C-alpha cells in the first residue's frame, strides 16, 4: 500500500487547481486520473467552436493569470494551451489511466484506502491517504433522459459531449434536446452549416449577451444587491432581444444571477441562435412525449421526422459510484449536501473541489480553501 499525504482524484481543472495550491504551500500530493490526459472533458468532449462564456478574469485558475495577449473570451484551444502551461509551471504529474475502483475510510488507522486500476496494464494500486480530495467535478458523465421509444430510434443519437462540429449533418433533420448554452450553441452551429435544425425548450430561460453577463458580474462585485443587478440585466436583455415568448422562449421569474446562485442554472449566452429562431431557421418544440421510429412526438400533439438527435441535457456526478463513507459531504446524486460557500469540506480529511456550479471561479475558491485547510491541520498536528 502506497502512502499519500493528499490524494487528488481527477486531473481536470479542479484537480490541477488543487495540486497547484498544495504546491504553493509545499504540501506533497498524488493525483490520479482515469483518462490519458489532463482536462479530458475539455479536450475530448466539447464542441470545436466553444469559447469560455465568461470573461477571462472570472476564469483563471489559482496563482497563474492568462497571458496578456489572451482574448477576453477564451477559445477552447487557447484554454487548453493555458492548462498545459499550468501543468508545466506547477510541475503537476498525474498518474493517468488510473480509474478509482473503491474508496473507504479506515476508522482504526485513520486514513482513506483508495484502490485504483490501471486501464492500460491492468495493475491494481492501493493508497493510504490522510486527506482525500474528490476533484472529478459535477460533469463526470453525460446524462441522456429516459424517453419512451428512444431505443428504437433508427437515426443517430448522441450526447452533446460527443458533438464536435456540424459539418457531417449538412442537409439532415436534427433535433437538439436541451436549451442551455451547449444546446443553443450546437443548434446555431447545425443551422449555420445547412442542417434542418429544431430544438426542444422545456423550461424558462434567460437569454443574455456575454457583455450583459460581464456587466452583471461587475455590478455584483461592487456589492450591489443581486435583485437590483438582476433587474438591470432583465430590462437590458428585453431592450436588446425584445419579447421572445412568442418563439417559445419564456423568461424565469427569478433573475439570472439569483437563479444561478440558487439552482446552478446559467443564463444562455446568445451566439446568434435567437435570431435564427426568429427567422424560422431553427424550429422550437416543447417537451417530448415519445419516439416512434424516426418520428418524435411532442406533448402538444405535434410530431416531426428526424435523422439525428443530439442530447444537450447536462451531466451527472459519478463520485458516489466509488466513494464510500462520504455521506456526510455528498448527497445521493454525488453532489455536496451543503450550499456554497460551505460545501467543500467533509469529515475525516475528505474534501471536494469543482462541485459548486460556479465554473472556474468556483474551482479556484474551493482549491484555495482545501489547501489552506490542510495546511492549518498539518501545522497543528504531528506529521502523517
Given a cut of 80, is residue 383 above it in pLDDT?
no
Q: What is the pLDDT of residue 382?
A: 57
Q: Rounded to whole angstroms, how far apart are CA atoms 364 and 154?
A: 44
**Mapping DSSP to helix (H, G, I), strand (E, B) and coil, where does residue 161 land?**
helix
- State mean pLDDT over 216-223: 94
- State mean pLDDT over 54-83: 96
- List Cα–Cα distances, 333 to 136, 254, 263, 321, 366, in angstroms: 14, 24, 15, 10, 20
- State mean pLDDT over 293-311: 97
Q: Which fold is adopted by the domain 2-140+317-380? A: FAD/NAD(P)-binding domain (3.50.50)
- State mean pLDDT over 234-259: 96
Q: What is the pLDDT of residue 384?
A: 52
Q: How does pLDDT run across 313-340, given as a tens digit for each residue?
A: 999 888 988 999 888 899 988 999 998 8
Where residue 75 falls among pLDDT bands split at 50, 70, 90? very high
CA-nearest of 202, 197, 131, 137 to 170 is: 197
CB-count exposure of residue 268 (10 Å: 0-12, 13-18, 19+): buried
User: What's the chain's average pLDDT?
Assistant: 95
| Lowest-confidence pick of 75-89, 168-182, 253-267 | 253-267
Q: How does pLDDT run across 280-293, given as a tens digit for each residue?
A: 999 999 999 999 99
**Structural domain spans, the chain:** 2-140+317-380, 144-311
Peptide bond into 341 cis (omega under 30): yes
**Contact assessment for residue 255 and residue 226, using Cβ atoms and an 8 Å cutoff:** yes
SS3 string, 40-76, reads: HHHHHCCCCCCECCCCHHHCCECCECCCCCCCCCCEH
Given a cut of 60, is residue 299 above it in pLDDT?
yes
**Contact assessment for residue 137 and residue 362, using Cβ atoms and an 8 Å cutoff:** no
Where residue 137 falls among pLDDT bands split at 50, 70, 90? confident
**Contact assessment for residue 127 and residue 30, using Cβ atoms and an 8 Å cutoff:** yes
Q: How does pLDDT run across 342-357, given as a tens digit for each residue?
A: 999 999 999 999 999 8
Same topology between domain 2-140+317-380 and domain 144-311: yes
- State mean pLDDT over 126-133: 98
- State mean pLDDT over 264-270: 93
CATH class, 144-311 region = alpha beta
Output phi, psi for 259, to 5 deg: -60, -40
Helix residue spans in the chain (DSSP H) = 13-24, 40-44, 76-89, 181-192, 210-221, 226-241, 256-263, 273-279, 359-380
Q: Classify the C-alpha dihedral 214-217-221-223 as positive or negative.
A: positive
- State mean pLDDT over 88-95: 98
Q: Which residue has the cell 422550437?
A: 284
**Mapping DSSP to helix (H, G, I), strand (E, B) and coil, where does residue 354 land?**
coil
DSSP code at position 86: H
**Can you name the residues that pair with 311 across neighbouring β-strands?**
159, 177
- State mean pLDDT over 38-62: 93
Amino acid at each position: 500500500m502506497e502512502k499519500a499525504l493528499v490524494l487528488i482524484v481527477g486531473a481536470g481543472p479542479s484537480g490541477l487547481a488543487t495540486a497547484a495550491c498544495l504546491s504553493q504551500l509545499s504540501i506533497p500530493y498524488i493525483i490520479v486520473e482515469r483518462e490519458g490526459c489532463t482536462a479530458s472533458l475539455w479536450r475530448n468532449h466539447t464542441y470545436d467552436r466553444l469559447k469560455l462564456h465568461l470573461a477571462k478574469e472570472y476564469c483563471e485558475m489559482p496563482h497563474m493569470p492568462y497571458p496578456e495577449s489572451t482574448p477576453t473570451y477564451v477559445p477552447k484551444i487557447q484554454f487548453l494551451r493555458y492548462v498545459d502551461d499550468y501543468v508545466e509551471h506547477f510541475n503537476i504529474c498525474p498518474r493517468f489511466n488510473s480509474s478509482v475502483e473503491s474508496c473507504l475510510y479506515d476508522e482504526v488507522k485513520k486514513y482513506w484506502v483508495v484502490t485504483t486500476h490501471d486501464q492500460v496494464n491492468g495493475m491494481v494500486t492501493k493508497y493510504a491517504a490522510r486527506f482525500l480530495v474528490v476533484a472529478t467535478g459535477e460533469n463526470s458523465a453525460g446524462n441522456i433522459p429516459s424517453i419512451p421509444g428512444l431505443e428504437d430510434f433508427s437515426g443517430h443519437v448522441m450526447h452533446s459531449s460527443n458533438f464536435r462540429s456540424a459539418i457531417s449533418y449538412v442537409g439532415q433533420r436534427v433535433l437538439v434536446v436541451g436549451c442551455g448554452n451547449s444546446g443553443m450553441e450546437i443548434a446555431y452551429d447545425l443551422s449555420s452549416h445547412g442542417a434542418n435544425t429544431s430544438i426542444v425548450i422545456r423550461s424558462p430561460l434567460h437569454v443574455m449577451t456575454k457583455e450583459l453577463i460581464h456587466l452583471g458580474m461587475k455590478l455584483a462585485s461592487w456589492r450591489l444587491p443581486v435583485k437590483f443587478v438582476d433587474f438591470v440585466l432583465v430590462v437590458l436583455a428585453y431592450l436588446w432581444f425584445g419579447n421572445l415568448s412568442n418563439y417559445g422562449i419564456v423568461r424565469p421569474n427569478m433573475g439570472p444571477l439569483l437563479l444561478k446562485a440558487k439552482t446552478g442554472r446559467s443564463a444562455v449566452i446568445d451566439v446568434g441562435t435567437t435570431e435564427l429562431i426568429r427567422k424560422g431557421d431553427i424550429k422550437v418544440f416543447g417537451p417530448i412525449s415519445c419516439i416512434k421510429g424516426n418520428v418524435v412526438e411532442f406533448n402538444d400533439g405535434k410530431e416531426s421526422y428526424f435523422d439525428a438527435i443530439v442530447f444537450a441535457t447536462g451531466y451527472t456526478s459519478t463520485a458516489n459510484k466509488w466513494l464510500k463513507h462520504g455521506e456526510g459531504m455528498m448527497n445521493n446524486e454525488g453532489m455536496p449536501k451543503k450550499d456554497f460557500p460551505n460545501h467543500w469540506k467533509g469529515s475525516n480529511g475528505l474534501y471536494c473541489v469543482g462541485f459548486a456550479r460556479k465554473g472556474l471561479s468556483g474551482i479556484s475558491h474551493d482549491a484555495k480553501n482545501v489547501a489552506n485547510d490542510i495546511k492549518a491541520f498539518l501545522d497543528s498536528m504531528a506529521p502523517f
